[in-house]
């Protein structure tokens, strides 16, 4: 599972953590488990606490807890220029250190210096779903699973039509019949 937090800060992650736990989706759906975590806001300290970092040097517990949901060999990716210990932030050197405490140095990847600083290249990962079939049956099974989750009220669409799992935003759906099931 990959988590891309965009420019979200520690306030946003605390809300995500609390709502996920409230609905027990951290256990039922493993909704916070991750293999790849894109460091928010180009490896900014704002994921860990308010800025400036010098005035707020301790990471918030909720941010550290989000990182604790990493699966074995989880990797943090910083989409940023080379991270150095200076005043030109983001990226924040202190944020890099906190991420490395959670995933170790080899599992913290910086797009500016991978695989070599002299010649960076795109970082690529192969993502698999656990369904190994690639035929129409696999696609039908994925759609069936999605529909079952919608019917169970775990996922729905918001008034804008976007998928959502936030209970107050979900429009309830009627069961769907698949082609060939009638």
pTM: 0.68
User: What per-residue confidence (pLDDT) applies to 155?
Assistant: 59
Is 141's pLDDT higher than 70? no
More confident residue, 154 or 157: 154
Q: Which residues contact 30 (CB under 8 A, 6 or more apart)?
A: 1
Q: Kindly indicate the confidence band of residue 29, based on its pLDDT and cuts at 50, 70 and 90.
A: confident
Residue 10: other Cβ atoms inside 10 A: 21
> What is the per-residue DSSP string for 64-129?
HHHHTTEEEEEEEEE-SS---SSS--SSPHHHHHHHHHHH-GGGEEETTTSEETTEE---------
């Amino acid at each position: 599972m990959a988590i891309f937090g965009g420019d979200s800060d520690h306030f946003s992650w605390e809300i995500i953590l609390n709502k996920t736990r409230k609905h027990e989706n951290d256990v039922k759906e493993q909704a916070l488990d991750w293999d790849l975590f894109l460091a928010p806001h180009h490896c900014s300290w704002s994921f860990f606490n308010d800025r400036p970092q010098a005035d707020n040097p301790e990471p918030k517990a909720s941010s550290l807890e989000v990182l604790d949901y990493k699966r074995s060999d989880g990797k943090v990716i910083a989409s940023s220029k080379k991270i150095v210990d200076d005043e030109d932030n983001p990226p924040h050197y202190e944020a890099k250190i906190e991420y490395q405490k959670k995933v170790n140095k080899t599992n913290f990847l910086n797009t500016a210096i991978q695989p070599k600083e002299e010649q960076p290249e795109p970082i690529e990962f192969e993502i698999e779903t656990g369904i190994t079939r690639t035929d129409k049956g696999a696609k039908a099974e994925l759609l069936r699973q999605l529909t079952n989750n919608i019917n169970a009220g775990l996922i729905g669409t918001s008034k804008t039509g976007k998928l959502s799992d936030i209970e107050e935003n979900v429009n309830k759906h009627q069961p769907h019949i698949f082609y060939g099931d009638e």
